[in-house]
Amino acid sequence: MMAIGYQRKLIGFMPRRNILLPIICIALLVAAWTFRAPPPSIDRWLDVGAIRGGASSPTSSLHPPPPAQSHNDVDLSAPDAPFVGWPLRRVCDEAAWVQGLVFICDNNSGGVGNIRNYIHTCIRYGLEAGATGLVMPKIRKRNETDLADLFTDYLPFNYMFDEKHFKNAFAANCPQITIYDDIKDIPGVGGKPNIEHITPKKFGSREGCDFRDQNRHTDRFGDRFRGWLNDSKTGQNPPSQNHPRLIRFNWGVLWDWQTYRDGPEFANTFGSILRFNDRILRLGKTALKRMRAYAEANGVKDGRFLGVHLRTESDALGFWPTYNTQSEAYLKQATKRGFEVAYIATGDSLEAQNFAGAAIELAQMKVVTKADLLDDEDLDELDSLSWDQQGLIDLIVLLGSDYFVGAMPSSFSIYTAMKRHLRTGGLYTRPYKVGTEGDGLSYLVGNYDKYWEGWLYMWDGMWP
Protein backbone atom coordinates (compact mmCIF):
# COMPACT_ATOMS: atom_id res chain seq x y z
CA MET A 1 0.00 0.00 0.00
CA MET A 2 2.84 2.45 0.78
CA ALA A 3 4.48 1.87 -2.59
CA ILE A 4 1.21 2.43 -4.44
CA GLY A 5 0.53 5.65 -2.46
CA TYR A 6 4.03 6.89 -3.14
CA GLN A 7 3.61 6.32 -6.86
CA ARG A 8 0.30 8.20 -6.87
CA LYS A 9 1.92 11.09 -5.00
CA LEU A 10 4.64 11.45 -7.63
CA ILE A 11 2.12 11.41 -10.46
CA GLY A 12 -0.13 13.88 -8.69
CA PHE A 13 2.66 16.47 -8.40
CA MET A 14 4.01 15.95 -11.99
CA PRO A 15 3.87 19.20 -13.99
CA ARG A 16 1.22 19.22 -16.77
CA ARG A 17 3.73 19.93 -19.56
CA ASN A 18 5.71 16.82 -18.55
CA ILE A 19 2.68 14.52 -18.70
CA LEU A 20 1.31 15.81 -22.03
CA LEU A 21 3.90 14.08 -24.21
CA PRO A 22 3.38 10.59 -22.70
CA ILE A 23 -0.38 11.00 -23.11
CA ILE A 24 0.01 11.85 -26.80
CA CYS A 25 2.32 8.85 -27.35
CA ILE A 26 -0.12 6.48 -25.68
CA ALA A 27 -3.01 7.82 -27.75
CA LEU A 28 -1.07 7.29 -30.96
CA LEU A 29 -0.18 3.72 -29.98
CA VAL A 30 -3.85 2.93 -29.25
CA ALA A 31 -4.91 4.34 -32.60
CA ALA A 32 -2.24 2.40 -34.43
CA TRP A 33 -3.29 -0.83 -32.72
CA THR A 34 -6.99 -0.24 -33.39
CA PHE A 35 -6.66 0.61 -37.07
CA ARG A 36 -3.70 -1.59 -37.91
CA ALA A 37 -3.73 -3.66 -41.10
CA PRO A 38 -4.85 -7.26 -40.47
CA PRO A 39 -2.01 -9.74 -40.13
CA PRO A 40 -1.37 -12.15 -42.98
CA SER A 41 -4.09 -14.81 -42.87
CA ILE A 42 -3.13 -18.43 -42.37
CA ASP A 43 -5.09 -19.06 -45.56
CA ARG A 44 -2.15 -17.64 -47.53
CA TRP A 45 -0.25 -20.89 -46.92
CA LEU A 46 -3.08 -23.18 -45.80
CA ASP A 47 -5.66 -23.58 -48.58
CA VAL A 48 -8.72 -24.04 -46.39
CA GLY A 49 -11.07 -24.13 -49.36
CA ALA A 50 -9.11 -26.92 -50.99
CA ILE A 51 -8.99 -28.93 -47.76
CA ARG A 52 -12.75 -28.68 -47.45
CA GLY A 53 -13.13 -29.79 -51.03
CA GLY A 54 -14.06 -26.42 -52.55
CA ALA A 55 -12.43 -23.35 -54.00
CA SER A 56 -10.27 -21.01 -51.95
CA SER A 57 -11.86 -17.76 -50.77
CA PRO A 58 -10.55 -14.74 -48.89
CA THR A 59 -11.49 -14.55 -45.22
CA SER A 60 -11.52 -11.72 -42.73
CA SER A 61 -9.20 -11.86 -39.73
CA LEU A 62 -12.14 -10.66 -37.64
CA HIS A 63 -14.11 -13.75 -38.63
CA PRO A 64 -11.66 -16.65 -38.80
CA PRO A 65 -12.66 -19.66 -40.89
CA PRO A 66 -14.01 -22.81 -39.26
CA PRO A 67 -11.67 -25.76 -38.79
CA ALA A 68 -10.32 -27.11 -42.05
CA GLN A 69 -12.34 -30.32 -41.70
CA SER A 70 -14.73 -30.97 -38.85
CA HIS A 71 -16.32 -34.33 -38.24
CA ASN A 72 -19.68 -32.87 -39.24
CA ASP A 73 -18.63 -32.09 -42.80
CA VAL A 74 -18.59 -35.66 -44.06
CA ASP A 75 -19.80 -38.75 -42.23
CA LEU A 76 -16.86 -40.99 -43.03
CA SER A 77 -18.55 -43.89 -41.23
CA ALA A 78 -21.21 -44.14 -43.94
CA PRO A 79 -20.65 -46.93 -46.48
CA ASP A 80 -21.25 -44.49 -49.34
CA ALA A 81 -19.42 -41.47 -47.88
CA PRO A 82 -17.93 -39.21 -50.57
CA PHE A 83 -14.24 -39.79 -51.05
CA VAL A 84 -12.03 -37.09 -49.49
CA GLY A 85 -9.18 -37.13 -51.95
CA TRP A 86 -6.61 -34.55 -50.90
CA PRO A 87 -4.73 -36.87 -48.47
CA LEU A 88 -4.21 -39.35 -51.32
CA ARG A 89 -3.16 -36.48 -53.59
CA ARG A 90 -0.58 -35.40 -51.03
CA VAL A 91 0.93 -38.89 -50.82
CA CYS A 92 1.07 -39.08 -54.62
CA ASP A 93 2.70 -35.65 -54.88
CA GLU A 94 5.44 -36.87 -52.53
CA ALA A 95 6.09 -40.14 -54.38
CA ALA A 96 9.19 -40.97 -56.45
CA TRP A 97 7.59 -42.36 -59.61
CA VAL A 98 9.14 -45.16 -61.66
CA GLN A 99 8.03 -45.49 -65.29
CA GLY A 100 7.20 -49.07 -66.20
CA LEU A 101 6.69 -50.29 -62.61
CA VAL A 102 3.31 -52.02 -62.33
CA PHE A 103 1.74 -53.56 -59.21
CA ILE A 104 -0.71 -56.46 -59.52
CA CYS A 105 -2.91 -56.52 -56.38
CA ASP A 106 -4.95 -59.69 -56.91
CA ASN A 107 -3.84 -61.94 -54.04
CA ASN A 108 -7.07 -61.12 -52.19
CA SER A 109 -9.14 -63.72 -50.35
CA GLY A 110 -11.32 -64.29 -47.29
CA GLY A 111 -14.10 -62.09 -45.96
CA VAL A 112 -14.52 -58.40 -46.68
CA GLY A 113 -12.26 -57.35 -43.79
CA ASN A 114 -9.36 -59.33 -45.23
CA ILE A 115 -10.05 -58.58 -48.88
CA ARG A 116 -10.18 -54.83 -48.31
CA ASN A 117 -6.93 -54.82 -46.42
CA TYR A 118 -5.12 -57.02 -48.92
CA ILE A 119 -6.00 -54.48 -51.63
CA HIS A 120 -5.24 -51.40 -49.53
CA THR A 121 -1.91 -52.73 -48.29
CA CYS A 122 -0.75 -53.68 -51.78
CA ILE A 123 -1.70 -50.29 -53.23
CA ARG A 124 -0.10 -48.41 -50.34
CA TYR A 125 3.18 -50.23 -50.98
CA GLY A 126 2.75 -49.48 -54.67
CA LEU A 127 2.49 -45.76 -53.93
CA GLU A 128 5.62 -45.92 -51.79
CA ALA A 129 7.49 -47.86 -54.46
CA GLY A 130 6.51 -45.32 -57.12
CA ALA A 131 4.48 -47.68 -59.31
CA THR A 132 3.06 -45.83 -62.31
CA GLY A 133 0.81 -48.74 -63.23
CA LEU A 134 -1.82 -50.72 -61.34
CA VAL A 135 -3.86 -53.67 -62.60
CA MET A 136 -7.48 -53.65 -61.43
CA PRO A 137 -7.60 -55.90 -58.34
CA LYS A 138 -9.46 -59.19 -58.50
CA ILE A 139 -11.07 -61.17 -55.69
CA ARG A 140 -10.80 -64.89 -54.91
CA LYS A 141 -14.23 -66.43 -54.34
CA ARG A 142 -14.86 -68.48 -51.21
CA ASN A 143 -16.07 -72.06 -51.54
CA GLU A 144 -19.77 -71.94 -50.60
CA THR A 145 -19.76 -75.50 -49.24
CA ASP A 146 -16.40 -75.25 -47.44
CA LEU A 147 -16.07 -71.78 -45.95
CA ALA A 148 -12.44 -72.37 -44.98
CA ASP A 149 -11.51 -72.80 -48.66
CA LEU A 150 -10.72 -69.26 -49.78
CA PHE A 151 -9.04 -69.97 -53.10
CA THR A 152 -11.53 -70.81 -55.82
CA ASP A 153 -12.17 -68.68 -58.91
CA TYR A 154 -10.90 -65.17 -59.50
CA LEU A 155 -13.81 -62.74 -59.73
CA PRO A 156 -13.80 -59.15 -61.04
CA PHE A 157 -13.47 -56.12 -58.77
CA ASN A 158 -17.17 -55.29 -59.07
CA TYR A 159 -18.02 -58.57 -57.35
CA MET A 160 -17.95 -56.41 -54.22
CA PHE A 161 -16.83 -52.90 -55.09
CA ASP A 162 -17.63 -49.94 -57.33
CA GLU A 163 -15.09 -49.94 -60.18
CA LYS A 164 -15.99 -46.48 -61.47
CA HIS A 165 -15.58 -44.95 -58.00
CA PHE A 166 -12.17 -46.62 -57.61
CA LYS A 167 -10.89 -45.38 -60.97
CA ASN A 168 -12.24 -41.87 -60.41
CA ALA A 169 -10.50 -41.62 -57.04
CA PHE A 170 -7.13 -42.21 -58.70
CA ALA A 171 -7.83 -40.20 -61.84
CA ALA A 172 -8.73 -37.14 -59.76
CA ASN A 173 -6.07 -37.42 -57.06
CA CYS A 174 -3.26 -39.60 -58.36
CA PRO A 175 -3.12 -39.17 -62.16
CA GLN A 176 0.50 -40.39 -62.17
CA ILE A 177 -0.90 -43.94 -61.99
CA THR A 178 -2.39 -45.70 -65.01
CA ILE A 179 -4.99 -48.33 -64.12
CA TYR A 180 -5.10 -51.32 -66.45
CA ASP A 181 -8.14 -53.57 -66.69
CA ASP A 182 -5.96 -56.60 -67.36
CA ILE A 183 -2.28 -57.58 -67.46
CA LYS A 184 -2.43 -57.97 -71.23
CA ASP A 185 -3.32 -54.27 -71.53
CA ILE A 186 0.09 -53.17 -70.19
CA PRO A 187 2.27 -51.81 -73.03
CA GLY A 188 5.35 -53.91 -73.74
CA VAL A 189 4.28 -56.81 -71.53
CA GLY A 190 4.41 -59.39 -74.32
CA GLY A 191 2.60 -62.69 -74.67
CA LYS A 192 4.16 -64.30 -71.59
CA PRO A 193 4.39 -61.67 -68.85
CA ASN A 194 7.11 -62.18 -66.27
CA ILE A 195 5.54 -61.50 -62.85
CA GLU A 196 7.96 -61.12 -59.93
CA HIS A 197 6.77 -62.08 -56.45
CA ILE A 198 7.97 -60.19 -53.40
CA THR A 199 7.36 -59.96 -49.64
CA PRO A 200 7.80 -56.30 -48.56
CA LYS A 201 9.13 -57.11 -45.09
CA LYS A 202 12.21 -58.66 -46.67
CA PHE A 203 13.36 -55.20 -47.79
CA GLY A 204 14.67 -54.38 -44.36
CA SER A 205 16.44 -55.95 -41.40
CA ARG A 206 13.96 -57.28 -38.83
CA GLU A 207 16.17 -58.90 -36.19
CA GLY A 208 14.14 -59.93 -33.17
CA CYS A 209 10.73 -59.11 -34.70
CA ASP A 210 7.79 -61.48 -34.54
CA PHE A 211 6.88 -62.62 -38.05
CA ARG A 212 3.34 -61.26 -37.54
CA ASP A 213 4.56 -57.79 -36.65
CA GLN A 214 4.00 -54.93 -39.08
CA ASN A 215 6.75 -53.71 -41.34
CA ARG A 216 8.83 -51.29 -39.26
CA HIS A 217 10.74 -50.19 -42.37
CA THR A 218 7.97 -48.60 -44.42
CA ASP A 219 9.79 -45.24 -44.35
CA ARG A 220 12.73 -46.86 -46.11
CA PHE A 221 10.86 -49.37 -48.25
CA GLY A 222 10.67 -47.14 -51.32
CA ASP A 223 14.39 -46.47 -51.53
CA ARG A 224 15.34 -50.07 -50.80
CA PHE A 225 12.84 -51.45 -53.28
CA ARG A 226 13.94 -49.10 -56.05
CA GLY A 227 17.53 -50.02 -55.30
CA TRP A 228 16.60 -53.67 -55.80
CA LEU A 229 14.84 -52.81 -59.08
CA ASN A 230 18.02 -51.27 -60.42
CA ASP A 231 20.37 -53.93 -59.09
CA SER A 232 21.98 -55.81 -61.98
CA LYS A 233 22.46 -58.82 -59.71
CA THR A 234 18.74 -59.62 -59.98
CA GLY A 235 19.21 -60.46 -63.65
CA GLN A 236 16.50 -57.97 -64.61
CA ASN A 237 16.78 -54.66 -66.41
CA PRO A 238 15.42 -51.57 -64.64
CA PRO A 239 11.78 -50.92 -65.59
CA SER A 240 10.95 -48.55 -68.41
CA GLN A 241 7.94 -47.50 -70.45
CA ASN A 242 8.61 -50.15 -73.10
CA HIS A 243 9.97 -52.81 -70.74
CA PRO A 244 7.74 -52.93 -67.63
CA ARG A 245 8.43 -54.82 -64.42
CA LEU A 246 5.35 -56.52 -62.94
CA ILE A 247 5.17 -57.02 -59.15
CA ARG A 248 2.80 -59.29 -57.23
CA PHE A 249 2.92 -59.95 -53.48
CA ASN A 250 3.31 -63.39 -52.01
CA TRP A 251 0.07 -64.34 -50.27
CA GLY A 252 -0.51 -63.07 -46.74
CA VAL A 253 0.51 -59.38 -46.88
CA LEU A 254 -2.47 -57.63 -45.28
CA TRP A 255 -1.74 -56.22 -41.78
CA ASP A 256 1.70 -55.09 -42.81
CA TRP A 257 1.52 -51.30 -42.95
CA GLN A 258 1.13 -49.27 -39.74
CA THR A 259 -1.65 -47.01 -40.94
CA TYR A 260 -1.31 -44.31 -38.28
CA ARG A 261 2.18 -43.44 -39.56
CA ASP A 262 0.54 -41.77 -42.56
CA GLY A 263 -1.36 -39.38 -40.28
CA PRO A 264 -5.09 -39.41 -39.51
CA GLU A 265 -6.08 -37.61 -42.73
CA PHE A 266 -4.80 -40.42 -44.94
CA ALA A 267 -5.50 -43.25 -42.52
CA ASN A 268 -9.16 -42.24 -42.20
CA THR A 269 -9.85 -41.69 -45.90
CA PHE A 270 -7.73 -44.16 -47.88
CA GLY A 271 -10.12 -46.99 -47.05
CA SER A 272 -12.88 -45.24 -48.99
CA ILE A 273 -11.24 -45.89 -52.36
CA LEU A 274 -13.16 -49.16 -51.98
CA ARG A 275 -16.87 -48.51 -51.99
CA PHE A 276 -19.48 -51.25 -52.30
CA ASN A 277 -21.17 -51.54 -55.67
CA ASP A 278 -24.61 -50.02 -56.22
CA ARG A 279 -26.43 -53.33 -55.89
CA ILE A 280 -24.92 -54.04 -52.48
CA LEU A 281 -25.50 -50.48 -51.27
CA ARG A 282 -29.15 -50.50 -52.34
CA LEU A 283 -29.95 -53.77 -50.60
CA GLY A 284 -28.01 -52.77 -47.49
CA LYS A 285 -29.74 -49.42 -47.21
CA THR A 286 -33.12 -51.09 -47.74
CA ALA A 287 -32.40 -53.55 -44.92
CA LEU A 288 -31.25 -50.72 -42.63
CA LYS A 289 -34.37 -48.66 -43.37
CA ARG A 290 -36.60 -51.63 -42.62
CA MET A 291 -34.68 -52.38 -39.44
CA ARG A 292 -35.45 -48.87 -38.19
CA ALA A 293 -39.10 -49.30 -39.16
CA TYR A 294 -39.24 -52.67 -37.38
CA ALA A 295 -37.87 -51.12 -34.20
CA GLU A 296 -40.37 -48.25 -34.34
CA ALA A 297 -43.22 -50.70 -34.96
CA ASN A 298 -42.18 -52.39 -31.72
CA GLY A 299 -42.46 -49.13 -29.81
CA VAL A 300 -38.78 -48.15 -29.88
CA LYS A 301 -38.24 -44.42 -30.13
CA ASP A 302 -36.22 -43.30 -33.18
CA GLY A 303 -35.91 -46.91 -34.34
CA ARG A 304 -33.00 -47.53 -32.00
CA PHE A 305 -31.42 -51.00 -32.33
CA LEU A 306 -28.40 -53.07 -31.36
CA GLY A 307 -26.13 -54.47 -34.08
CA VAL A 308 -24.72 -57.95 -33.36
CA HIS A 309 -22.01 -59.86 -35.21
CA LEU A 310 -22.09 -63.48 -34.07
CA ARG A 311 -18.90 -65.10 -35.44
CA THR A 312 -19.35 -68.83 -34.92
CA GLU A 313 -19.48 -70.20 -38.47
CA SER A 314 -17.64 -73.39 -39.45
CA ASP A 315 -14.47 -71.54 -40.48
CA ALA A 316 -14.09 -69.73 -37.14
CA LEU A 317 -10.73 -70.45 -35.54
CA GLY A 318 -10.64 -72.59 -32.41
CA PHE A 319 -9.21 -69.95 -30.10
CA TRP A 320 -11.82 -67.32 -30.98
CA PRO A 321 -14.59 -66.59 -28.46
CA THR A 322 -17.15 -69.41 -28.37
CA TYR A 323 -20.87 -69.01 -28.91
CA ASN A 324 -21.46 -68.97 -25.16
CA THR A 325 -18.78 -66.32 -24.59
CA GLN A 326 -20.11 -64.12 -27.37
CA SER A 327 -23.80 -64.45 -26.56
CA GLU A 328 -23.25 -63.82 -22.85
CA ALA A 329 -21.23 -60.65 -23.54
CA TYR A 330 -23.68 -59.39 -26.16
CA LEU A 331 -26.75 -59.86 -23.99
CA LYS A 332 -24.98 -58.20 -21.09
CA GLN A 333 -24.35 -55.13 -23.24
CA ALA A 334 -27.95 -55.21 -24.52
CA THR A 335 -29.34 -55.23 -20.98
CA LYS A 336 -26.90 -52.59 -19.78
CA ARG A 337 -27.88 -50.23 -22.59
CA GLY A 338 -31.60 -50.96 -22.61
CA PHE A 339 -32.00 -52.31 -26.15
CA GLU A 340 -35.35 -53.84 -27.03
CA VAL A 341 -34.56 -54.96 -30.58
CA ALA A 342 -31.41 -56.20 -32.29
CA TYR A 343 -30.14 -57.05 -35.75
CA ILE A 344 -27.93 -60.12 -35.92
CA ALA A 345 -25.34 -60.81 -38.61
CA THR A 346 -24.23 -64.43 -38.88
CA GLY A 347 -23.82 -67.04 -41.56
CA ASP A 348 -25.17 -69.74 -39.25
CA SER A 349 -28.98 -69.66 -39.21
CA LEU A 350 -29.20 -72.18 -36.33
CA GLU A 351 -26.98 -70.05 -34.09
CA ALA A 352 -29.07 -67.01 -35.02
CA GLN A 353 -32.19 -68.82 -33.78
CA ASN A 354 -30.44 -69.86 -30.58
CA PHE A 355 -29.36 -66.30 -29.91
CA ALA A 356 -32.83 -64.90 -30.67
CA GLY A 357 -34.35 -67.31 -28.14
CA ALA A 358 -31.81 -66.41 -25.46
CA ALA A 359 -32.33 -62.70 -26.14
CA ILE A 360 -36.07 -62.95 -25.55
CA GLU A 361 -35.63 -64.98 -22.38
CA LEU A 362 -32.70 -63.13 -20.79
CA ALA A 363 -32.93 -59.59 -22.13
CA GLN A 364 -36.53 -59.24 -23.35
CA MET A 365 -35.06 -58.26 -26.70
CA LYS A 366 -36.36 -59.22 -30.15
CA VAL A 367 -33.79 -60.24 -32.76
CA VAL A 368 -34.11 -60.26 -36.56
CA THR A 369 -31.90 -60.98 -39.57
CA LYS A 370 -31.69 -59.50 -43.06
CA ALA A 371 -33.87 -62.35 -44.34
CA ASP A 372 -36.59 -61.34 -41.87
CA LEU A 373 -36.52 -57.74 -43.08
CA LEU A 374 -36.38 -58.14 -46.85
CA ASP A 375 -39.20 -59.53 -48.99
CA ASP A 376 -40.35 -60.06 -52.55
CA GLU A 377 -37.77 -58.99 -55.16
CA ASP A 378 -35.34 -57.77 -52.51
CA LEU A 379 -35.34 -61.17 -50.83
CA ASP A 380 -34.89 -62.92 -54.17
CA GLU A 381 -31.93 -60.68 -54.92
CA LEU A 382 -30.45 -61.38 -51.49
CA ASP A 383 -30.73 -65.12 -52.08
CA SER A 384 -28.87 -64.73 -55.38
CA LEU A 385 -25.82 -63.29 -53.62
CA SER A 386 -22.86 -65.34 -52.45
CA TRP A 387 -22.11 -65.94 -48.76
CA ASP A 388 -19.56 -63.09 -48.63
CA GLN A 389 -21.76 -60.69 -50.62
CA GLN A 390 -24.59 -61.27 -48.17
CA GLY A 391 -22.15 -60.37 -45.42
CA LEU A 392 -21.79 -56.92 -47.01
CA ILE A 393 -25.52 -56.35 -46.51
CA ASP A 394 -25.03 -57.17 -42.83
CA LEU A 395 -22.09 -54.80 -42.64
CA ILE A 396 -24.11 -51.84 -43.95
CA VAL A 397 -26.83 -52.44 -41.35
CA LEU A 398 -24.29 -52.84 -38.53
CA LEU A 399 -22.59 -49.58 -39.50
CA GLY A 400 -25.94 -47.85 -39.05
CA SER A 401 -26.79 -49.45 -35.70
CA ASP A 402 -26.94 -47.41 -32.49
CA TYR A 403 -24.46 -49.70 -30.77
CA PHE A 404 -22.41 -52.57 -32.14
CA VAL A 405 -21.12 -55.76 -30.53
CA GLY A 406 -18.73 -58.16 -32.22
CA ALA A 407 -15.93 -60.65 -31.73
CA MET A 408 -12.19 -60.11 -31.52
CA PRO A 409 -10.18 -60.98 -33.64
CA SER A 410 -12.68 -61.21 -36.51
CA SER A 411 -11.52 -58.76 -39.20
CA PHE A 412 -15.21 -58.19 -40.04
CA SER A 413 -15.91 -57.04 -36.47
CA ILE A 414 -12.72 -54.98 -36.26
CA TYR A 415 -13.44 -53.20 -39.53
CA THR A 416 -17.02 -52.46 -38.44
CA ALA A 417 -15.86 -50.97 -35.13
CA MET A 418 -13.11 -48.92 -36.80
CA LYS A 419 -15.44 -47.59 -39.50
CA ARG A 420 -18.03 -46.60 -36.88
CA HIS A 421 -15.26 -44.93 -34.87
CA LEU A 422 -14.92 -42.32 -37.65
CA ARG A 423 -18.07 -40.70 -36.25
CA THR A 424 -16.06 -39.43 -33.31
CA GLY A 425 -13.67 -37.11 -35.12
CA GLY A 426 -14.28 -37.26 -38.84
CA LEU A 427 -11.15 -36.69 -40.86
CA TYR A 428 -9.00 -36.28 -37.75
CA THR A 429 -10.35 -39.26 -35.81
CA ARG A 430 -7.73 -40.63 -33.41
CA PRO A 431 -6.94 -44.37 -33.34
CA TYR A 432 -9.45 -46.61 -31.61
CA LYS A 433 -8.55 -47.43 -28.01
CA VAL A 434 -8.26 -51.19 -28.27
CA GLY A 435 -9.33 -53.39 -25.38
CA THR A 436 -11.76 -50.97 -23.76
CA GLU A 437 -15.30 -49.84 -24.44
CA GLY A 438 -13.47 -47.12 -26.31
CA ASP A 439 -15.65 -44.67 -28.17
CA GLY A 440 -19.03 -45.66 -26.71
CA LEU A 441 -20.16 -46.93 -30.13
CA SER A 442 -18.88 -50.52 -30.13
CA TYR A 443 -17.75 -53.40 -27.94
CA LEU A 444 -15.73 -56.42 -29.11
CA VAL A 445 -15.45 -59.43 -26.83
CA GLY A 446 -12.13 -61.25 -26.90
CA ASN A 447 -8.64 -61.62 -25.45
CA TYR A 448 -6.65 -58.38 -25.29
CA ASP A 449 -3.73 -59.63 -23.20
CA LYS A 450 -1.15 -60.36 -25.91
CA TYR A 451 -0.36 -58.18 -28.90
CA TRP A 452 0.63 -60.93 -31.36
CA GLU A 453 -1.08 -64.03 -30.03
CA GLY A 454 -4.27 -62.03 -29.57
CA TRP A 455 -3.96 -60.54 -33.06
CA LEU A 456 -4.12 -56.99 -31.71
CA TYR A 457 -1.73 -55.96 -34.46
CA MET A 458 -4.68 -56.04 -36.85
CA TRP A 459 -5.91 -52.76 -35.38
CA ASP A 460 -2.64 -51.08 -36.36
CA GLY A 461 -2.70 -52.43 -39.91
CA MET A 462 -6.30 -51.84 -41.06
CA TRP A 463 -7.70 -48.87 -42.95
CA PRO A 464 -11.28 -48.09 -41.86
DSSP 194-229: -EEEE-GGGSS--TT--TTS--TTHHHHHHHHHHHH
Q: How sure is the predictor about 446, in pLDDT bands with cuts at 50, 70 and 90? A: very high
pLDDT digits (tens, 9 = 90+) for 356-374: 999 999 999 999 999 999 9
Q: Which of the 8 DSSP states describes residue 130?
A: T
User: Any idea which of 75-89, 306-320, 374-388 has the lowest mean pLDDT?
Assistant: 306-320
pLDDT of 58 reads 36
Domains annotated on the chain, with CATH: 86-204+212-273 (no CATH), 278-460 (3.40.50)
Over 60: is that where the pLDDT of 378 sits?
yes
Which candidate, 180, 181, 133, 162, places its Cα nearest to that of 274? 162
pTM over 0.95: no
What DSSP string runs through 145-175? S-TT---S-EE-GGGTB-HHHHHHHHHHH-T
pLDDT digits (tens, 9 = 90+) for 52-82: 333 333 333 333 444 444 444 789 999 999 9
pLDDT of 404 reads 98
Over 80: is that where the pLDDT of 44 sits?
no
Taking the C-alpha atoms of residue 215 and residue 209, their distance in angstroms, rounded to an integer, is 9
**pLDDT above 70 coverage of the chain, percent:** 84
Please, what's the b/e burial string for 59-92 (b: 16 or more CB within 10 A of its CB; e: otherwise)? eeeeeeeeebbebebbebbbbebebbbbbbeebb
Over 60: is that where the pLDDT of 31 sits?
no
What value, to the nearest 5°, has the Cα angle with vertex 106 and ends 211 and 139? Answer: 110
Q: How sure is the predictor about 253, in pLDDT bands with cuts at 50, 70 and 90? A: very high
366-368 sheet: strands from edge to edge? 366-368, 341-345, 306-309, 403-407, 442-445
Mean pLDDT of 158-169: 98
pLDDT digits (tens, 9 = 90+) for 340-352: 999 999 988 999 9
